[in-house]
Structure 1
Amino acid sequence: MTSQGAPSLRDLYNNPSSSWSFVPVVDNNGNGASSSSTSASPAEASSYQWSSRNSLYDISSGIDIEPSSLNVSIAVRGAAMSALLVFFSTAVEIPWEVGKTLLQVQYVPREAHAVEEPEEVTEEEPPSEDELSADNDDAYFADEDGSSSRVNTPRPTDDRGYVIRQSVSDSSTRASYVIPLGTANGVWAMIKQVARWKPEGWLGLWKGLATTCLHNILLSKTQPVVRSILAAFFGPSNARSFSRPHVLSDFILSPFSLIRTRLIVQTSAVQHRRYTGPFDAFNQILHMYFHPQLFFPTILDSATHVLAESMGPRIAARLFSRLLGFGPNSHIAEDTHPFLWALAQLTSSCACLLITVPVDTVRRRLQAQTRGSAAPIATCVETRRRPYVGVVDCIYSILVEERSDLPLRPKKRRGHERKASRTGKERADAAETEISEPTSWLRNTGIGQLYRGLGMRIGANVILFLLTLFVPTEDADDGWTEL
């Protein structure tokens, strides 16, 4: 029996045709061309028209990818989402701005002292009969004319009969809407103080929110314009190394800073409030912006930020290169040493705060004062009654007149020390105890008043440094952000 193998398929193989075949298009009358079983020639394939509809997805294949007109609904929706994002981010930031601004403008003279806290109620032993008889004898033979506590000395008054306030520590003449002096030494402490103070409350932490939102929106719109102008004059690379674009944009929008400062500083009490909103404040104090004592600090503040942010990282990078032993031809750059460059930015940013924070403090104090024909405002914190003449006078007055040991701790006295029937020996011992109380050197200098909010800004720079390490950003040339 002979076995026969399977037939070979080699003879049945044909080379595939390189030409295309198409399905004929059916016209409107329902007449269709006959399908050709044979492959069409290249000339016929090139002259054939594609079908207007896709048989697989049943969609039109002739869609115009480029829009011919702007979709208004999508543009409005995008603008609304962007505005909401700016609003919520500003709402998180503005309480810290309120606390920092109030700390910067608060006036704390050297002779200021805190109001005594209410004494604690303590149970005391009833006095004996001998002590009662001795107290009665002292009271009987006491000289009433020599007792200063019983003499009502008249207090100076103004033309309208109101008592003139001699000191900011006088709680009897302090307005009910003014926060007590020296109760906060940091931004977080001031935030808590504003929230607890009845005329302000929690809503007082969001004063100037609308102004800040409008400022941030306009800032984002003017950044591309400033960037293009810098690139046209200095070139793209030089424009980026010169300064951050938003610094110059912030100078253009600096009137919003004046409005925001005065809205934050004024009290929230309705009967004493001067401005009802940002537009009302804009109409009343716009002419104040060009006052020399306000315009020059704005230029100084912007120029200080420009120099600090353009030259600071380079100086810090060169210092790190020398400390780490880099060669003369090698230096720290963003593309070669990203971690060291970020560390140099952090170091320079914290070091530049020693210059920029005092300038910002002086600018806020000058903005809180009334200039020109503008009406004075009732502030929610203590401010200097006599206005500053300029930048130099403001710095000198802060260093010479104010104290920095905040908060001012009130002295608690025991019940037997506050009794009116104390003997002379007990009064002398109490006075000696008060005189011998140690005082800090910050009581005799106002240098701490120039650096209110410094810790918060350093913390913000550290957080931003950590974010740049773990969360890469799309645009690395935006620089650092300062609260």
Structure 2
Amino acid sequence: MHRRYPSALHALFTLVTTEHEHSFLSLYLHNPLLGPTLLVHTLRPLLHHAAPLLIERVLSVSRSEAPALYALSIFAVNTLGAVILMPVETVRKRLQVQTRGGARELPTCVAVGRNYTGFGDCLRRVVMEEGGRRSVRSGGKHGSGSSRSGRPRASSWGGDGWGVQGLYRGFGTQIVLNAATALLGLVNGLPTEDDW
């Protein structure tokens, strides 16, 4: 464990004096972080609270009359929300962990990109540097994923370095979570003997 701060107050003081230009407000209003943070914390509750209204009023699917279709609709809306929010959250987290000012870097357990200049730069670099190039090896001396020179060939799902896989890390887990939520909502919404 790499302990840099002995207490929370020391951490706050150190962050303000070394990384945030001696301004307490810059902790909250730091330009690259403000946009993605507002977007995430606005869209997530909006999607959460608007989903039932959208399904019942726009799609005309009632929870009591068609519980399976309602659960499927909840799954679809939650998945659409994940498709929209995951890239923004990924960029926001990347911007949060990079050091600013004269602060020294903390060692991390996973590789983290550094020196992002803002939301657009981080988004572009994740797509360009982390998406796409994958080595697919199967049978044979060289395998189907490598060329004769031994270098991995770009796979068909990512192209030559272009890809959004870096923005959607954990998307499969999110889909499973959405499916479990929809299934639990379906089981909870089924009519019982008392409803008949």
Normalising to structure 2: TM-score of the pair? 0.69
Question: 1:372 deviation in Å?
Answer: 4.1
Matches within 5 A, 1:175-186: none
> What is residue 293 of structure 1 aligned with on the other side?
32
Q: 1:335 to 1:356 in 2, by over 3 A?
A: same
Q: Give me the whole-angstrom Cα distance separating, in 1, the residues matched to 2:133 and 2:89.
A: 21
Aligned-pair CA distance for 1:399: 1.9
1:460 alignment partner, one of 177, 180, 189: 177
Question: Which residue of the partner structure matches residue 395 of structure 1?
Answer: 123
Which among 61, 71, 87 is matched to residue 332 of structure 1?
61
Alignment of 1:384 with 2:133, yes or no, is: no
1:348 counterpart = 2:77:
yes
Which residue of the other structure, out of 149, 158, 166, is the alignment partner of 1:434? 149
Is contact 2:61-2:69 (8 Å) kept? yes
Preserved CA contact (<8 Å) 2:130 2:165: no
Instruction: Output the amino acid matched with 1:465.
Output: A
Distance change >3 Å, CA 437–CA 375, structure 1 → 2? closer
**Other structure's SS at 2:29 match:** coil
380 and 437 in structure 1: CA distance in 2 versus 1, 3 angstrom threshold: closer
Matched residues, number: 171
Alignment-mate amino acid for residue 75 of structure 2: L
Paired residue secondary structure (2:149) = helix
Distance change >3 Å, CA 333–CA 373, structure 1 → 2 = farther
Structure 2 partner of 1:186? none
Structure 1 vs Structure 2 CA RMSD: 3.3
**What is the deviation of 1:342?**
2.5
The C-alpha deviation readout for 1:410-455, integer Å capped at 9, x for no partner, is 9xxx9xxxxxxxxxxxxxxxxx723586431425213100000111
More helix by share: 2
The structure with the larger Rg is 1
User: Aligned match of 1:360 in 82, 86, 89?
Assistant: 89
CA deviation after TM superposition for structure 1 residue 299, in Å? 0.5
In structure 2, the residue matched to 1:24 is none
Checking the alignment, whether the CA contact within 8 Å between 2:67 and 2:186 is kept in structure 1 is no
Letter of the 1:307 partner, please give it. L
Identity between Structure 1 and Structure 2 (%): 31
Shift of 1:466: 1.9
Assess if the C-alpha contact under 8 Å between 1:294 and 1:363 holds in 2. Answer: yes
Q: Return 5+ residue gaps in structure 2 as ranges.
A: 17-23, 142-146, 190-196
Other-structure match for 1:166 = none
1:371 aligns with 2:100: yes
Tell me, in whole angstroms, the C-alpha distance in 2 between the residues paired with 1:436 and 1:378. 30
Question: Taking structure 1 as reference, are residues 314 and 403 closer, same or farther at Cα in structure 2, changes over 3 Å only?
Answer: same
Structure 2: how far apart are the matches of 1:276 and 1:460?
37
Does residue 447 (structure 1) correspond to residue 177 (structure 2)? The answer is no
1:304 aligns with 2:57: no
The 1:460/1:282 distance shift into structure 2, 3 A limit, reads farther
Counterparts of 2:9 and 2:71, CA distance in 1: 41
Segments of 5+ residues of structure 1 without an aligned counterpart are: 1-267, 322-330, 415-431, 473-483
Distance 1:278 1:355, change over 3 A: farther
Q: Provide the C-alpha distance between the structure 2 equivalents of 1:397 and 1:280, rounded to a whole number of angstroms.
A: 33
The question of whether the paired residues in 1 share the 8 Å contact of 2:55 and 2:61 is answered with no
Is the CA contact (8 Å cut-off) linking 1:312 and 1:352 kept in structure 2? no
Deviation of 1:294 after TM superposition, in Å, equals 1.8
Output one character per residue of 1:78-112: Cα deviation in whole Å (capped at 9) or x when no partner. xxxxxxxxxxxxxxxxxxxxxxxxxxxxxxxxxxx
